[in-house]
Amino acid sequence: MSIENTRAPSVEYFTPKQPLPSGTVLGKKNDKIPPLFSELKIKGMTIPNRIGLSPMCMYSADNGFPTPFHMIHYNTYSMRGTGLIILESVAVTSNGRISPNDLGIWTDEQAYKLKEIVDFAHSQGKKIGIQLSHSGRKASTLPLYTLKFDVSTDKNFKGDFSDDVWSSSDSFETDDKLFKNVKKLNINQVKEIILKFGEAAKRCYEICKFDFIEIHAAHGYLINQFLSQTTNKRGLGDEYSGLNFETRIKFLIDIVNTIKSNINTDEIPIFVRLSASENNDDNENAWTFNDTLKLIPILIKNGGIDVFDISSGGNSPVKSGKQLSQLEMAKQVKCLIDDLRLTSSLGDKIYVAAVGNINNAKLANDLISENNCDIVLVGREFLKSPNLVENWAHDLNTNIQMTLQYGWPL
Protein backbone atom coordinates (compact mmCIF):
# COMPACT_ATOMS: atom_id res chain seq x y z
CA MET A 1 0.00 0.00 0.00
CA SER A 2 1.43 3.37 -1.06
CA ILE A 3 0.37 6.50 0.76
CA GLU A 4 1.52 9.93 -0.39
CA ASN A 5 2.07 12.64 2.21
CA THR A 6 2.37 15.72 0.00
CA ARG A 7 4.25 18.80 1.08
CA ALA A 8 2.42 22.12 0.99
CA PRO A 9 3.62 24.66 -1.58
CA SER A 10 5.16 28.09 -0.86
CA VAL A 11 7.28 27.07 2.16
CA GLU A 12 10.67 25.35 2.37
CA TYR A 13 9.84 23.38 5.52
CA PHE A 14 7.39 20.50 5.78
CA THR A 15 3.73 21.04 6.45
CA PRO A 16 1.15 18.81 4.77
CA LYS A 17 -0.71 20.09 1.74
CA GLN A 18 -4.30 20.84 2.67
CA PRO A 19 -6.93 19.15 0.47
CA LEU A 20 -9.09 22.30 0.74
CA PRO A 21 -8.66 25.53 2.68
CA SER A 22 -10.10 25.13 6.15
CA GLY A 23 -13.51 26.76 6.34
CA THR A 24 -14.63 25.28 3.01
CA VAL A 25 -18.06 23.65 3.17
CA LEU A 26 -18.07 19.87 2.77
CA GLY A 27 -21.20 18.32 1.34
CA LYS A 28 -23.04 17.37 -1.77
CA LYS A 29 -23.55 19.83 -4.61
CA ASN A 30 -27.25 20.34 -3.93
CA ASP A 31 -26.93 20.70 -0.15
CA LYS A 32 -28.26 23.95 1.23
CA ILE A 33 -25.30 26.10 2.32
CA PRO A 34 -25.77 28.97 4.79
CA PRO A 35 -24.94 32.21 2.95
CA LEU A 36 -22.21 32.90 5.54
CA PHE A 37 -20.38 29.81 4.27
CA SER A 38 -20.79 30.46 0.56
CA GLU A 39 -17.60 31.20 -1.35
CA LEU A 40 -16.90 34.63 -2.81
CA LYS A 41 -14.76 35.58 -5.80
CA ILE A 42 -13.22 39.05 -5.78
CA LYS A 43 -11.28 39.55 -9.00
CA GLY A 44 -8.51 36.92 -8.95
CA MET A 45 -9.15 35.93 -5.33
CA THR A 46 -11.65 33.34 -4.11
CA ILE A 47 -12.42 32.92 -0.41
CA PRO A 48 -14.20 29.82 0.97
CA ASN A 49 -16.58 31.71 3.27
CA ARG A 50 -17.57 35.28 4.18
CA ILE A 51 -15.84 35.50 7.58
CA GLY A 52 -12.69 37.62 7.80
CA LEU A 53 -10.22 38.56 10.51
CA SER A 54 -10.50 42.32 11.01
CA PRO A 55 -7.25 44.31 11.27
CA MET A 56 -6.26 44.85 14.90
CA CYS A 57 -3.08 46.56 16.07
CA MET A 58 -0.91 44.26 18.19
CA TYR A 59 1.87 46.73 19.12
CA SER A 60 4.48 43.97 18.99
CA ALA A 61 6.83 44.95 16.15
CA ASP A 62 10.55 45.69 16.45
CA ASN A 63 11.52 48.82 14.47
CA GLY A 64 8.70 48.03 12.05
CA PHE A 65 9.70 44.36 11.65
CA PRO A 66 7.31 41.52 12.48
CA THR A 67 8.43 39.16 15.24
CA PRO A 68 7.60 35.51 16.02
CA PHE A 69 4.51 36.87 17.76
CA HIS A 70 3.06 37.96 14.41
CA MET A 71 3.82 34.61 12.76
CA ILE A 72 1.99 32.79 15.57
CA HIS A 73 -0.85 35.30 15.86
CA TYR A 74 -1.84 35.54 12.21
CA ASN A 75 -1.19 31.96 11.25
CA THR A 76 -3.29 30.70 14.13
CA TYR A 77 -6.14 31.92 11.92
CA SER A 78 -4.54 30.49 8.77
CA MET A 79 -4.89 27.05 10.37
CA ARG A 80 -8.51 27.64 11.25
CA GLY A 81 -11.53 28.30 9.07
CA THR A 82 -11.09 32.03 8.51
CA GLY A 83 -12.10 33.06 4.99
CA LEU A 84 -9.60 35.90 4.77
CA ILE A 85 -7.07 37.58 7.04
CA ILE A 86 -6.24 41.30 7.15
CA LEU A 87 -3.01 42.28 8.86
CA GLU A 88 -3.07 45.16 11.29
CA SER A 89 -2.20 48.71 10.29
CA VAL A 90 1.22 48.67 8.57
CA ALA A 91 2.97 52.01 8.18
CA VAL A 92 4.30 53.18 4.82
CA THR A 93 6.88 55.44 6.52
CA SER A 94 8.79 55.26 9.78
CA ASN A 95 7.03 58.31 11.21
CA GLY A 96 3.67 57.03 9.98
CA ARG A 97 3.50 54.37 12.69
CA ILE A 98 0.79 54.76 15.30
CA SER A 99 3.20 53.65 18.02
CA PRO A 100 6.91 52.79 18.02
CA ASN A 101 5.81 49.13 18.19
CA ASP A 102 3.76 49.12 14.97
CA LEU A 103 4.54 47.16 11.83
CA GLY A 104 6.10 48.89 8.83
CA ILE A 105 6.77 48.26 5.17
CA TRP A 106 8.96 51.21 4.22
CA THR A 107 11.93 48.91 3.43
CA ASP A 108 12.39 45.77 1.34
CA GLU A 109 13.83 44.01 4.40
CA GLN A 110 10.57 44.48 6.29
CA ALA A 111 8.65 43.18 3.28
CA TYR A 112 10.74 39.99 3.12
CA LYS A 113 10.03 39.36 6.80
CA LEU A 114 6.31 39.89 6.26
CA LYS A 115 6.53 37.42 3.37
CA GLU A 116 7.23 34.64 5.88
CA ILE A 117 3.75 35.18 7.34
CA VAL A 118 2.20 35.28 3.87
CA ASP A 119 4.01 32.12 2.73
CA PHE A 120 2.68 30.09 5.64
CA ALA A 121 -0.85 31.39 5.10
CA HIS A 122 -0.58 30.33 1.46
CA SER A 123 0.65 26.88 2.49
CA GLN A 124 -2.73 26.53 4.21
CA GLY A 125 -4.61 27.73 1.14
CA LYS A 126 -5.58 31.00 2.83
CA LYS A 127 -6.00 34.51 1.44
CA ILE A 128 -4.18 37.18 3.38
CA GLY A 129 -4.00 40.94 2.91
CA ILE A 130 -2.37 43.98 4.43
CA GLN A 131 -3.72 47.30 5.69
CA LEU A 132 -1.48 50.16 4.51
CA SER A 133 -1.55 53.21 6.72
CA HIS A 134 -0.06 56.51 7.79
CA SER A 135 -1.16 57.69 11.23
CA GLY A 136 -0.53 61.42 10.74
CA ARG A 137 -1.14 63.35 13.95
CA LYS A 138 -1.75 60.09 15.87
CA ALA A 139 1.86 58.98 15.31
CA SER A 140 4.23 58.09 18.15
CA THR A 141 1.47 57.38 20.64
CA LEU A 142 1.62 54.84 23.44
CA PRO A 143 0.38 51.29 22.68
CA LEU A 144 -3.24 51.05 23.73
CA TYR A 145 -2.51 48.19 26.13
CA THR A 146 -0.71 50.78 28.29
CA LEU A 147 -3.52 53.36 28.20
CA LYS A 148 -6.86 52.87 26.46
CA PHE A 149 -6.77 56.21 24.66
CA ASP A 150 -4.27 57.99 22.41
CA VAL A 151 -1.45 59.66 24.33
CA SER A 152 1.79 60.85 22.74
CA THR A 153 5.01 59.17 23.78
CA ASP A 154 7.85 61.14 25.33
CA LYS A 155 11.63 60.90 25.33
CA ASN A 156 11.55 58.30 28.11
CA PHE A 157 9.68 55.82 25.91
CA LYS A 158 11.91 53.61 23.77
CA GLY A 159 11.48 54.38 20.09
CA ASP A 160 9.81 57.75 20.68
CA PHE A 161 9.59 59.92 17.56
CA SER A 162 7.10 62.48 18.84
CA ASP A 163 9.17 65.33 17.42
CA ASP A 164 8.55 63.98 13.88
CA VAL A 165 4.74 64.00 13.71
CA TRP A 166 2.94 65.53 10.71
CA SER A 167 -0.63 65.99 9.57
CA SER A 168 -2.91 67.84 7.19
CA SER A 169 -2.76 70.81 9.59
CA ASP A 170 -0.91 71.94 12.69
CA SER A 171 -4.06 72.94 14.57
CA PHE A 172 -7.42 71.25 15.08
CA GLU A 173 -10.86 72.03 16.43
CA THR A 174 -10.95 69.09 18.80
CA ASP A 175 -8.23 67.43 20.82
CA ASP A 176 -5.08 69.28 19.74
CA LYS A 177 -3.90 69.26 23.37
CA LEU A 178 -3.35 65.52 23.05
CA PHE A 179 -1.37 66.02 19.83
CA LYS A 180 0.44 69.24 20.60
CA ASN A 181 3.65 68.63 18.62
CA VAL A 182 2.01 68.16 15.21
CA LYS A 183 3.43 69.99 12.19
CA LYS A 184 1.67 70.76 8.90
CA LEU A 185 2.76 68.84 5.80
CA ASN A 186 3.78 71.02 2.88
CA ILE A 187 2.72 70.07 -0.65
CA ASN A 188 6.01 68.30 -1.43
CA GLN A 189 5.69 66.22 1.75
CA VAL A 190 2.09 65.31 0.87
CA LYS A 191 3.21 64.14 -2.59
CA GLU A 192 6.05 62.15 -1.01
CA ILE A 193 3.66 60.28 1.28
CA ILE A 194 1.43 59.45 -1.69
CA LEU A 195 4.48 57.97 -3.44
CA LYS A 196 5.32 56.00 -0.28
CA PHE A 197 1.89 54.34 -0.42
CA GLY A 198 2.66 53.32 -3.99
CA GLU A 199 6.11 51.97 -3.09
CA ALA A 200 4.64 50.02 -0.18
CA ALA A 201 1.96 48.54 -2.45
CA LYS A 202 4.65 47.46 -4.90
CA ARG A 203 6.49 45.63 -2.10
CA CYS A 204 3.20 44.00 -1.06
CA TYR A 205 2.67 42.75 -4.60
CA GLU A 206 6.18 41.89 -5.76
CA ILE A 207 7.92 40.78 -2.55
CA CYS A 208 5.29 39.72 -0.01
CA LYS A 209 2.76 38.28 -2.48
CA PHE A 210 -0.22 39.51 -0.46
CA ASP A 211 -3.56 38.55 -1.99
CA PHE A 212 -5.13 41.98 -1.51
CA ILE A 213 -4.36 45.44 -0.16
CA GLU A 214 -6.51 47.55 2.15
CA ILE A 215 -6.06 51.33 2.34
CA HIS A 216 -6.65 52.62 5.87
CA ALA A 217 -8.73 55.78 5.43
CA ALA A 218 -10.49 55.53 8.78
CA HIS A 219 -10.21 56.01 12.56
CA GLY A 220 -8.67 59.46 12.55
CA TYR A 221 -5.41 58.56 10.82
CA LEU A 222 -3.82 60.66 8.10
CA ILE A 223 -6.19 60.01 5.19
CA ASN A 224 -9.15 60.55 7.52
CA GLN A 225 -7.47 63.75 8.74
CA PHE A 226 -7.49 65.10 5.18
CA LEU A 227 -11.14 64.08 4.65
CA SER A 228 -12.55 65.89 7.67
CA GLN A 229 -12.78 69.66 8.04
CA THR A 230 -12.25 69.28 11.78
CA THR A 231 -8.65 68.29 11.07
CA ASN A 232 -8.00 69.65 7.58
CA LYS A 233 -7.46 73.41 7.95
CA ARG A 234 -5.51 73.85 4.72
CA GLY A 235 -6.59 77.07 3.01
CA LEU A 236 -7.39 78.38 -0.44
CA GLY A 237 -4.86 77.78 -3.19
CA ASP A 238 -3.92 74.36 -1.78
CA GLU A 239 -4.93 71.40 -3.94
CA TYR A 240 -5.66 69.44 -0.72
CA SER A 241 -7.55 72.29 0.94
CA GLY A 242 -10.05 71.53 3.67
CA LEU A 243 -12.41 74.20 2.39
CA ASN A 244 -14.26 72.08 -0.15
CA PHE A 245 -15.19 68.44 -0.59
CA GLU A 246 -13.29 67.81 -3.84
CA THR A 247 -9.94 68.94 -2.42
CA ARG A 248 -10.44 67.14 0.90
CA ILE A 249 -10.92 63.78 -0.85
CA LYS A 250 -8.04 64.30 -3.32
CA PHE A 251 -5.39 62.83 -0.98
CA LEU A 252 -7.29 59.52 -0.82
CA ILE A 253 -7.94 59.45 -4.58
CA ASP A 254 -4.27 60.15 -5.34
CA ILE A 255 -3.25 57.29 -3.01
CA VAL A 256 -5.70 54.92 -4.73
CA ASN A 257 -4.27 55.89 -8.11
CA THR A 258 -0.63 55.46 -7.14
CA ILE A 259 -1.38 52.04 -5.62
CA LYS A 260 -3.20 51.02 -8.81
CA SER A 261 -0.16 52.01 -10.86
CA ASN A 262 2.16 49.80 -8.78
CA ILE A 263 0.23 46.50 -8.76
CA ASN A 264 -1.69 44.29 -11.17
CA THR A 265 -5.26 45.28 -10.35
CA ASP A 266 -6.62 42.39 -12.44
CA GLU A 267 -5.15 40.04 -9.80
CA ILE A 268 -5.01 42.03 -6.58
CA PRO A 269 -8.22 43.49 -5.13
CA ILE A 270 -8.06 46.83 -3.32
CA PHE A 271 -10.09 47.38 -0.16
CA VAL A 272 -10.58 50.74 1.51
CA ARG A 273 -11.56 51.09 5.17
CA LEU A 274 -13.66 54.17 5.78
CA SER A 275 -14.90 55.80 8.94
CA ALA A 276 -18.31 56.27 7.38
CA SER A 277 -19.09 58.82 10.07
CA GLU A 278 -16.95 60.79 12.48
CA ASN A 279 -19.76 60.20 15.02
CA ASN A 280 -19.88 63.91 15.73
CA ASP A 281 -22.77 65.15 13.61
CA ASP A 282 -23.40 68.09 15.96
CA ASN A 283 -20.20 69.60 14.56
CA GLU A 284 -20.91 71.06 11.11
CA ASN A 285 -17.29 70.44 10.06
CA ALA A 286 -17.22 66.76 10.98
CA TRP A 287 -17.19 63.99 8.37
CA THR A 288 -20.70 62.52 8.20
CA PHE A 289 -22.34 59.46 6.71
CA ASN A 290 -23.79 61.68 3.97
CA ASP A 291 -20.20 62.61 3.05
CA THR A 292 -19.41 58.91 2.71
CA LEU A 293 -22.44 58.37 0.48
CA LYS A 294 -21.13 61.21 -1.68
CA LEU A 295 -17.55 59.87 -1.69
CA ILE A 296 -18.27 56.27 -2.66
CA PRO A 297 -19.67 56.93 -6.17
CA ILE A 298 -16.65 59.16 -6.85
CA LEU A 299 -14.27 56.38 -5.81
CA ILE A 300 -16.21 53.89 -7.92
CA LYS A 301 -16.07 56.16 -10.95
CA ASN A 302 -12.35 56.70 -10.37
CA GLY A 303 -11.92 52.91 -10.37
CA GLY A 304 -9.81 50.45 -8.44
CA ILE A 305 -11.80 49.84 -5.25
CA ASP A 306 -13.23 46.33 -4.97
CA VAL A 307 -14.34 46.26 -1.31
CA PHE A 308 -15.59 49.06 0.93
CA ASP A 309 -14.84 48.18 4.57
CA ILE A 310 -17.27 50.27 6.63
CA SER A 311 -16.29 51.37 10.13
CA SER A 312 -16.72 54.67 12.03
CA GLY A 313 -15.21 57.15 14.47
CA GLY A 314 -11.65 57.90 15.51
CA ASN A 315 -11.16 61.47 14.35
CA SER A 316 -13.03 63.16 17.17
CA PRO A 317 -13.04 62.34 20.89
CA VAL A 318 -16.69 63.45 21.09
CA LYS A 319 -19.69 61.34 20.15
CA SER A 320 -22.77 63.47 19.60
CA GLY A 321 -26.01 63.44 17.73
CA LYS A 322 -28.05 60.38 16.80
CA GLN A 323 -25.61 57.99 15.16
CA LEU A 324 -26.29 55.07 12.85
CA SER A 325 -24.62 51.82 13.86
CA GLN A 326 -21.71 50.58 11.78
CA LEU A 327 -23.85 47.66 10.59
CA GLU A 328 -26.66 50.00 9.48
CA MET A 329 -24.15 52.18 7.61
CA ALA A 330 -22.72 49.10 5.86
CA LYS A 331 -26.25 48.11 4.83
CA GLN A 332 -26.93 51.54 3.34
CA VAL A 333 -23.59 51.52 1.49
CA LYS A 334 -24.52 48.11 0.10
CA CYS A 335 -27.88 49.50 -1.07
CA LEU A 336 -26.13 52.48 -2.68
CA ILE A 337 -23.73 50.25 -4.61
CA ASP A 338 -26.55 47.93 -5.72
CA ASP A 339 -28.51 50.98 -6.94
CA LEU A 340 -25.46 52.23 -8.83
CA ARG A 341 -25.15 48.84 -10.48
CA LEU A 342 -28.74 49.05 -11.68
CA THR A 343 -28.40 52.58 -13.03
CA SER A 344 -24.88 52.51 -14.50
CA SER A 345 -22.48 50.13 -16.22
CA LEU A 346 -20.28 49.02 -13.33
CA GLY A 347 -17.60 46.58 -14.41
CA ASP A 348 -16.29 44.19 -11.78
CA LYS A 349 -18.61 43.67 -8.84
CA ILE A 350 -17.94 45.85 -5.81
CA TYR A 351 -18.45 44.42 -2.34
CA VAL A 352 -19.09 45.68 1.19
CA ALA A 353 -17.51 44.44 4.42
CA ALA A 354 -19.25 45.07 7.74
CA VAL A 355 -17.70 45.35 11.20
CA GLY A 356 -18.98 46.07 14.68
CA ASN A 357 -19.80 43.56 17.42
CA ILE A 358 -20.64 40.70 15.06
CA ASN A 359 -20.53 38.10 17.80
CA ASN A 360 -22.71 35.15 16.83
CA ALA A 361 -23.43 32.89 13.88
CA LYS A 362 -27.06 33.90 13.42
CA LEU A 363 -26.26 37.62 13.24
CA ALA A 364 -23.38 37.03 10.82
CA ASN A 365 -25.44 34.75 8.60
CA ASP A 366 -28.43 37.11 8.62
CA LEU A 367 -26.21 40.03 7.54
CA ILE A 368 -25.15 38.06 4.45
CA SER A 369 -28.52 36.42 3.70
CA GLU A 370 -30.39 39.73 3.96
CA ASN A 371 -27.91 41.38 1.56
CA ASN A 372 -26.71 43.87 4.18
CA CYS A 373 -23.08 43.14 3.31
CA ASP A 374 -20.91 40.60 1.48
CA ILE A 375 -18.23 39.94 4.13
CA VAL A 376 -18.32 40.09 7.93
CA LEU A 377 -15.09 41.15 9.61
CA VAL A 378 -14.58 40.00 13.18
CA GLY A 379 -12.00 41.21 15.70
CA ARG A 380 -12.54 40.73 19.41
CA GLU A 381 -14.52 37.50 19.04
CA PHE A 382 -11.60 35.95 17.15
CA LEU A 383 -9.26 36.96 19.97
CA LYS A 384 -11.55 35.15 22.41
CA SER A 385 -11.97 32.11 20.18
CA PRO A 386 -9.52 31.46 17.32
CA ASN A 387 -11.72 28.52 16.23
CA LEU A 388 -14.75 30.80 15.92
CA VAL A 389 -15.45 29.75 12.31
CA GLU A 390 -15.67 26.09 13.34
CA ASN A 391 -18.03 27.05 16.19
CA TRP A 392 -20.23 29.11 13.86
CA ALA A 393 -20.34 26.27 11.33
CA HIS A 394 -21.52 23.97 14.11
CA ASP A 395 -24.16 26.52 15.17
CA LEU A 396 -25.44 26.62 11.57
CA ASN A 397 -25.36 22.82 11.23
CA THR A 398 -22.71 23.01 8.53
CA ASN A 399 -19.81 20.62 7.95
CA ILE A 400 -16.57 22.38 6.98
CA GLN A 401 -13.05 21.31 6.12
CA MET A 402 -10.64 21.55 9.02
CA THR A 403 -6.87 21.75 8.86
CA LEU A 404 -5.56 18.18 8.42
CA GLN A 405 -3.55 18.16 11.64
CA TYR A 406 -6.60 19.27 13.67
CA GLY A 407 -9.47 17.59 11.89
CA TRP A 408 -8.47 13.95 11.56
CA PRO A 409 -8.96 12.89 15.21
CA LEU A 410 -12.48 14.38 15.44
Q: Annotated active-site positions, please?
A: 221
Secondary element (H or E) of residue 85: strand 84-91
Distance of CA 140 to the CA centre of its chain: 20
Distance of CA 28 to the CA centre of its chain: 34
SS3 letters for 169-189?
CCCCCCCCCCCCCCEECCHHH
Characterize the bridge pairing of strands 351-354 and 212-217: unpaired
196, 261 in Cβ contact below 8 A?
Answer: no
Label residue 230 exposed, middle or buried (CB < 10 Å: 0-12, 13-18, 19+). Answer: buried
168, 125 in Cβ contact below 8 A?
Answer: no
Backbone angles phi, psi at 275, to 5 degrees: -80, 100
Using alpha carbons only, give the angle 63, 67, 69 rounded to the nearest 5 degrees: 135
Tell me which amino acid residue 333 is.
V
Cα 23 to Cα 244: distance, rounded to the nearest angstrom: 46
SS3 letters for 252-294?
HHHHHHHHHCCCCCCCCCEEEEEECCCCECCCCCCCCHHHHHH
Cα 388 to Cα 311: distance, rounded to the nearest angstrom: 21
Q: Where are the beta strands (DSSP E) in 176-323?
A: 183-184, 212-217, 270-275, 307-311
